[in-house]
């Protein structure tokens, strides 16, 4: 079984019992740091149950392009679609079951790429692809766990990308963005319940 299949299966098994409260709070914290512009073309990468995409859809203008929400797990995307329908946002989100890397978009076509709670599974290749997909001046926003609290187990421990360091603090998280060629990076540690994550926003040169 390849890594993509293992990720798809692992997260598919979580879909029916996903911690929406936690992930909605992480999405909110990320969007406070990296808010979309009213008409931005936005992607929610490795979207899971759509925590980020749903909140972006509520912020964008009616004339903005649909938010691209993409995930390997068909089960997760199905949960996200159901949540969007409950909130009356189903037409504002373009749901895709597909690999996150590379994104199925044209070069330089996005204004904002967001990724909550997933970059540590995607690795540095995702950041390189995001630079391709962003317009000049476009932004990327992502969260990472803090090393002091990160204790993956079982299958998930085996799926963590080996080329992306889990940061000890907000300063180390900035180095992830700069190593991938992004500029003007900002970061902050956010406590969500009993857990803390670091959120980062940076721009394409």
Residue 1 is predicted with a pLDDT of 61
- Give per-10-residue mean pLDDT for the chain (205 aa): 68 68 94 95 96 95 93 94 93 95 97 97 97 98 95 86 95 96 97 91 95
> What's the CATH code of the domain at 150?
3.40.50.150
Q: Which long-range contacts (CB under 8 A, 24 or more apart) does 79-83 make?
A: 79/15, 79/16, 79/18, 79/49, 79/50, 80/47, 80/48, 80/49, 80/50, 80/53, 80/54, 81/50, 83/20, 83/49, 83/50, 83/54
Given CA atoms 20, 22, 23, 27 in this order, what sign does their dihedral have?
A: positive
Domain count, the chain: 1
User: How many residues does this entry show for the chain?
Assistant: 205
pLDDT of residue 129: 98
Instruction: Quote the longest CA-to-CA distance of the chain.
Output: 44
CB 204 within 8 A of CB 182: yes
Contact (Cβ atoms closer than 8 angstroms) between residue 59 and residue 39:
no
Residue 61: predicted pLDDT: 86
Q: Work out the burial of residue 149: count CB atoms within 10 Å of its CB; fewer than 13 is exposed, 13-18 middle, 19 or more buried.
A: exposed
Structural domain span for residue 104: 3-204
The candidate with the shortest Cα–Cα distance to 132, out of 73, 79, 181, 65, is 181
Residue 63 has a pLDDT of 87
Q: State whether the Cα torsion 73-78-79-83 is positive or negative.
A: positive
C-beta separation of 96 from 69 below 8 A: yes
Confidence (pLDDT) at 156: 85
């Amino acid at each position: 079984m390849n890594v993509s299949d293992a990720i798809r299966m692992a997260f598919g098994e979580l879909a029916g019992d996903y911690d929406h409260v936690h992930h909605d709070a992480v999405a909110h914290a990320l969007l406070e740091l990296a808010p979309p512009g009213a008409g931005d073309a936005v992607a929610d990468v490795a979207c899971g149950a759509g925590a980020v995409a749903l909140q972006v859809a509520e912020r964008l203008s009616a004339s903005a392009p649909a938010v691209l929400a993409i995930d390997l797990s068909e089960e997760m995307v199905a949960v996200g679609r159901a949540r969007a329908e409950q909130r009356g946002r189903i037409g504002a989100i373009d749901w895709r079951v597909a690999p996150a890397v590379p994104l199925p978009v044209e070069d330089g076509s996005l204004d904002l790429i967001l990724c909550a709670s997933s970059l540590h599974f995607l690795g540095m290749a995702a950041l390189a692809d995001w630079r391709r997909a962003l317009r000049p001046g476009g932004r990327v926003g992502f969260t990472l766990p803090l090393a002091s609290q990160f204790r993956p187990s079982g299958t998930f421990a085996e799926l963590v990308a080996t080329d992306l360091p889990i940061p000890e603090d907000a300063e180390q998280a900035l180095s992830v963005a700069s190593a991938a060629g992004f500029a003007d990076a900002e970061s902050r540690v956010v406590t969500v319940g009993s857990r803390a994550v670091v959120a980062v926003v940076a721009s394409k040169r």
